Structure formats: C-alpha cells, structure tokens
Structure 1
Amino acid sequence: MTSTDLVRIWPAAGVRARAGDLELRWADDDLLVALADIAAGGIHDEDQMPFAVPWTRGTPEEVARAVVSYHWSIRPRVGPDELHLELAVLENGDPVGIQGASGSDWRVLRKVQTGSWIGRAHQGRGVGTRMRVLMLALLFDGLGAREATSGAFVDNPASSAVSRKVGYADNGVVTVAREGEAVAHRNYLMTRERWLEVRERNIELLGAPVELEGVEALRAMLDG
C-alpha cells in the first residue's frame, strides 16, 4: 500500500498544516519513533508535572513506549462521533513535539480540546505559540470548528501564557486530580467568533501564510 492509498482510505493521514518552517502532519510509525525518542529525552523538570495523566514518569524506554502505545490506541478514533487528531510538529523538517485536538460528537458540537508537548531542547523559542495558532487555523478555517478549549495547571504558567497570547478567553478554574492530589486547573476558551477577531494578529505570529492540505477530504469524513 502506498501513502496515496492510505490517504484515500484514511483522510487524516493526508492532513498537513504549514506556515513557513513550521508544519503539523499525521505521524506515521517512523515519525512516531522519532517523537517517542524526543519525549524520552525529557519534556519538563522532574519536580513538575504538566499532565493530568503522568505519562512522562518512568525510564526513557517507558516514556517512549507510552508515546507509541497512546498514539497507536487513538489512531482509529477520527470520525464524526469521536475526534482524536494528534499531529506531529516539525520545525525545518525536524520533529519537535505533538499538537493534538480531541472531542466527542464532532458532527453535532464541533468542539475540541487542544493539548500539546514539546521536547525540552526545543522550548523557549516560541514554537509552542506558533503550533497552537497553526492548529487553531486548521480547526477553525479548515474543519469548521465552533469552539476550542485548552487548559493548564496553575503551576504551569508557560502554557497559560500561550493561551492568553493567542487570545483565548479565561473560562474558570476547576480542581483536577494529579498524582494523587487535588490541583487547580485553569481553563481557556476560543470560540469561532473570537478566532475571527484575533485571526489576523495570530497569523502574523506565524510569520508566513497558512497552507492547509488534505483538509477537504477529512472534513467530509468528519461531517458524515
């Protein structure tokens, strides 16, 4: 089976979102292995945990396996009733992390929650902000989303800073269980109307026009 055959059968495999040197794309097995190795090399300090599910705990081999097994488990879950779109982030052609979006009842609600991670070596250069903008462009401009939510624990100010810079509205604080403790978690909301208000300045953050590829076929699949 060629990649063209796969895209014909599974349109999500053909999705690309690009802006200059930054790209989001479906992660095939070769790319997934590279991403697993990046995660195994570290994403955050040992005394931190930015994720509700602590998948970054363990040996490098265990972390790498967690990345691969999770992505294998959600690959089939791209459809009108459940959408899990986890895309590799590449900078100048090199993988640096993952930008995802997930939600239920897409055909009815057109609402997702975004989440992401970046290898430690690639942090602090604005990649997190740019990949979030690129995902929002894919969701709102390409797939016709109505809402995108995001969130971060209160002890993860860097993630909250990205949400605010991109233009999300504050959407309250909830308590979430994390490694056996109750921790405050800030929520953020981007509606379609708000995206249209902030879109132009966000595209400027990318430094290049957005190019979407393979979106029409995926949207037809999701809309049923």
Structure 2
Amino acid sequence: MLSLEEIFPPFGLRVTSGPIELRVLRDDDLPELVDLVGGGVQPPEQPMPFLHDWHQQPFAPGAPDGFPTTSLAWWWTQRAQFAPAHWRLALTVRRDGELVGMQDLNARDFALTRHVETGSWLGLAHHGRGTGTLMRQLVVGFAFDELGALECGSGFIIGNRASAAVSRKTGYLENGQRRIVQHTRQGEIGVDEQRVVVTPATYVRQDGDVVIEGAEALRRFLAIDR
C-alpha cells in the first residue's frame, strides 16, 4: 500500500534546524492549530497584518461560518488546487514539538519566474523568542537551495515593526510600497504595504545546520528542474 507521502509528496517535506521544524499542514494538526489561533495572533499595538481578518472572526466550531470553518476551507482549497503552475505550501511551525505558528510559501509560474512569495504568523505566546526570524530563514533557504528560486518576495503593513524586523534579519530589502485593501468586520479599508525582496546575494542564513527531507519528491511533484 502506498503511503500518504507517496500519494501527496508535499506531506513528506520536513525542514528542521535546532528546535524548529517546518512541515506541510495535515488534518491531524488542525485541533492544535485552532487552539493556537484562539490564544491570539495579532499583538494589540500592531496593525492588522492580513488581507482578511480571519483570526478575528467569531469562534464557531461546528458552524457553517466563522472560525475555524472559513479557515479550514482555505487550507483545504490549497491542496485541491495544488499544481506546478500555482502552488502554496502551508507549513506548520513547531518549536520543540509544540505548534507555534504557520509559514507560507507560494508561487505562480515558478518554472518561468523562479519567484516565490513568503508570509507567516506566530501565536502571541510565542513572540519574542527569535522563532519568526528562524522560520523565515529556513523557508527562504529551502526555496533557494532546494527549489532553485532566484528571489523571494514578501510584504508587511506599514507600522508592523515585528514583521519588518524579521524581514531585515533575513536579508530582505525594501522593494517599493503599494496601496492594498484589507477586509475587516468594519468593512474594506485601504492601507499601505511595504514590499520587500531577498535574493541569494542578500540572504542571511540561520546559525546551525539544516536537515531537509522530501525535497526531491516535492520537486518532481512540482515539475521543478534545478
């Protein structure tokens, strides 16, 4: 019988360094993830960091709307639409075995652009320990070393000091600003986003060794030729 990792190779990806482990989100992670979100994601003094305020929706388990149902639909849709032309890796972040956040890596037409986008968040209880920087360094290094990316883009809302610091420590450089729309319970609002980009020349690697499993099978699945 085939294993789940053989059927869907993203599940076989594992990136570890020191206390941090990145793996593609599985259904078994969801109860722990829901609890993590329930403890808070957004620091009260920081601007809302997402395009949609999914983390502030009413907590309504078992109901057709609210959290976590709407977020489950988003995470499951990523698997259903997984293809070489457009893919998204929703990676759980564990520190010493405990789920502490999520790290996103996604791309469109990667074979032609060699460009990926990154995004991430941590549960409030896990801020201030260097985890945000290390998980970003790990996913950027994976994109460069294992997928052959030429640049990694990201962005943060102006005023989000924590995200700005993570980007700076990873080697991202400012790459212009743009006006974007956020969807909140109070309606749509316009905010300024700082775009940033990191290349192999500016990338700042983490201290310590990195162990990566499942990269070759993932490359075949995504039709990536290094």
TM-score (norm 1): 0.89
Separation (CA, whole Å) in 2 of partners of 1:178 and 1:106: 27
The equivalent of 1:6 in structure 2 is 4
| Secondary structure of 1:116 counterpart | strand
Count of equivalent residues: 214
The equivalent of 1:222 in structure 2 is 222
Q: Which amino acid aligns with 2:206?
A: I
2:195 aligned with 1:191: no
Selected match of 1:24 from 18, 22, 27: 22
Selected match of 1:34 from 32, 39, 42: 32
CA shift at 1:174, angstroms? 0.7
2:209 aligned with 1:209: yes
2:138 aligned with 1:134: yes
Percent identity among equivalent residues?
Answer: 37
The list of structure 1 runs, each at least 4 consecutive aligned residues, that deviate by more than 6 angstroms after superposition, is none
Unmatched tracts of structure 2, length 5 or more? 61-65
The question of whether the paired residues in 2 share the 8 Å contact of 1:6 and 1:13 is answered with: yes
Of 4-13 and 61-70, deviating more is 61-70
Selected match of 1:182 from 181, 184, 190: 190
Separation (CA, whole Å) in 1 of partners of 2:145 and 2:51: 29
Unmatched tracts of structure 1, length 5 or more? none
| Secondary structure of 2:56 counterpart | coil
| Secondary structure of 1:192 counterpart | coil
1:110–1:76 Cα change, 3 Å: farther
Separation (CA, whole Å) in 2 of partners of 1:126 and 1:154: 21
TM-score (norm 2): 0.88
The question of whether the paired residues in 1 share the 8 Å contact of 2:78 and 2:87 is answered with: no
CA shift at 1:46, angstroms? 5.6
2:159 aligned with 1:155: yes
Task: Compare the two structures and name the one with the higher helix fraction.
Answer: 1
The question of whether the paired residues in 2 share the 8 Å contact of 1:53 and 1:178 is answered with: yes
The equivalent of 2:63 in structure 1 is none
Of 105-114 and 87-96, deviating more is 105-114
Q: How does 1:54-93 map to 2 (within 5 A)?
A: 54-61=53-60, 62-93=66-97
Separation (CA, whole Å) in 1 of partners of 2:123 and 2:59: 13
Q: Which amino acid aligns with 2:139?
A: M
Of 38-47 and 65-74, deviating more is 38-47
Q: Which amino acid aligns with 2:39?
A: G
CA shift at 1:192, angstroms? 3.3
The question of whether the paired residues in 1 share the 8 Å contact of 2:93 and 2:101 is answered with: yes
The equivalent of 2:50 in structure 1 is 51
- Please give the per-residue CA displacement for 1:113-165, whole angstroms capped at 9, x wherever unaligned: 10111111111111100100111121111111121101100021110111011
Q: How does 1:100-179 map to 2 (within 5 A)?
A: 100-179=104-183
